[in-house]
Amino acid sequence: MPKVLITDNIASEGIELLQKNVPTDIKRGLTPEELVDIIGDYDALVVRSETKVTSPVIEAGRNLKVVARAGIGVDNIDLDAATRAGIAVVNAPIGNTVAAAEHTLALMLSLARNVPQAYASMKEGQWQRSAFMGIEVRNKTLGIIGLGRVGSEVARRASSFGMRLIAFDPFVAPDFAARLGVTTMTLDELLPQADFITLHTPLTPGTTKMINKEQLAKMKPGARLINVARGELVDEDALLQALENEQLAGVALDVFTNEPPGDLPLLRHPRLMATPHLGASTQEAQREVAIEAAEQVIAVLNGQPARNTVNAPFVPPEVHAILAPYVPVASMVGRLLTNMARGQFIGVTLRYQGEIATHNTAILKAAALVGLLSPVSGEVVNMINAPVLAQQRGLQITEQTSSDGLEYASLISATLHTTGDDITIAGTSLRDEPHLVRVNDYWMDVAPSTPYLLFVDNQDQPGTIGAVGTVAGRRNINISFMEVGRIAPRGQAMMVLGVDDPISADALDEIMALPQIDNARVVAM
Ligand X SMILES: O=C(O)C(=O)COP(=O)(O)O
Ligand Y SMILES: NC(=O)C1=CN([C@@H]2O[C@H](COP(=O)(O)OP(=O)(O)OC[C@H]3O[C@@H](n4cnc5c(N)ncnc54)[C@H](O)[C@@H]3O)[C@@H](O)[C@H]2O)C=CC1
Active-site residue set: 230, 259, 277
User: What track of x and - describes contact with ligand X for positions 404 through 443 (by CB under 6 A)?
Assistant: ----------------------------------------
Residue 96 and residue 149: Cα distance in Å, rounded? 10
Residue of 14, 148, 325, 485 that binds ligand Y (CB under 6 A): 148
Overall size of the chain counted in residues:
525
> DSSP label at 137?
-
Residue 277 binds to ligand X (criterion: CB under 6 A): yes
Positions 89 through 128 that interact with ligand X (CB under 6 A): 96
When binding is defined by CB under 6 A, the residue of 250, 279, 427, 448 that contacts ligand Y is 279
Cα 434 from Cα 317, distance rounded (Å): 21
Which lies closer to ligand Y via its Cβ, residue 59 or residue 75?
75
Q: Which residue type occupies 237?
A: D
Amino acid at 476: N
Do residues 311 and 83 lie in contact, with contact meaning Cβ atoms separated by under 8 Å?
Answer: yes
Instruction: Report the nearest approach of ligand Y to the CB of residue 279 (Å).
Output: 2
Given ligand Y, ligand X, none, residue 151, with its beta carbon under 5 to 8 Å by kind, binds ligand Y
Cβ-based nearer residue to ligand Y, 201 or 353: 201
296 binds ligand X (CB under 6 A): no
Return the ∠ at Cα 72 (arms to 70 and 78), rounded to 5°.
85
Which residues ranging from 231 to 260 are in contact with ligand Y (CB under 6 A)? 254-255
Q: Does 359 bind ligand X (CB under 6 A)?
A: no
Between 204 and 519, CB nearer to ligand Y: 204
- H helices, E strands: number in the chain: 18, 22
Q: Which DSSP letter does residue 72 get? A: S
Minimum gap (Å) between residue 281 Cβ and ligand X: 6
Q: Does 152 bind ligand X (CB under 6 A)?
A: no
Residue 229 within binding range of ligand Y, rule CB under 6 A: yes
| Alpha-carbon 13 to chain mean position | 25
Is 335 among the residues that bind ligand X (CB under 6 A)? Answer: no
Tell me which of ligand X, ligand Y, none is bound by residue 48, counting a contact when its beta carbon lies within the kind-specific cut-off of 5 to 8 angstroms. Answer: ligand X
Q: What is the DSSP letter of 378?
A: S
Of 11 and 368, CB closest to ligand X:
11
Nearer to ligand X, 96 or 110 (CB): 96
Q: How far is the CB of 88 from ligand X (least distance, A)?
A: 18
Helix ranges, 183-254 (H): 187-190, 213-218, 236-244
Select from 46, 101, 190, 280 the one that contacts ligand X (CB under 6 A): 280
Q: Examine residue 73 and tell whether it contacts ligand X (CB under 6 A).
A: yes
Cα–Cα distance for residue pair 260/256, rounded to 1 Å: 7
Q: Between the CA of residue 495 and those of 33, 344, 412, what are the distances in Å? A: 58, 25, 21
Q: Give alpha helix (H) positions in 74-133.
A: 79-84, 97-113, 115-123
Out of ligand Y, ligand X, none, what residue 207 binds, judged by CB under 5 to 8 A for its kind, is ligand Y
Residue span binding ligand Y (CB under 6 A) among the ranges 21-29, 276-284, 447-455, 502-510:
276-284
- Which of 7, 51, 76, 97 is close enough to bind ligand Y by CB under 6 A? 97
Question: Where would I find the beta strands (DSSP E) of 139-287?
Answer: 141-145, 164-168, 182-184, 196-199, 223-227, 248-253, 272-274
Stretch 186-205: interaction string toward ligand Y, x if CB under 6 A = --------------xxxxx-
Q: For residues 282 and 459, which CB has a smaller minimum distance to ligand X in the complex? A: 282
Q: Which amino acid is at 489?
A: P
Task: Please report, to the nearest 10 degrees, the dihedral formed by the alpha carbons of residues 331, 525, 63, 390 taken in order.
Answer: -40
* Dihedral sign computed on CA atoms, order 443, 446, 448, 450: negative
Residues 6+ apart with CB under 8 A from 407: none
3-state secondary structure of 340: helix
List interacting residues with ligand X (CB under 6 A): 48-49, 71-73, 96, 277, 279-281
Residues at the site binding ligand Y, with contacts judged by CB under 6 A: 72-73, 93, 96-97, 100, 145-151, 168-169, 171-172, 200-204, 206-207, 228-230, 254-255, 277, 279-280
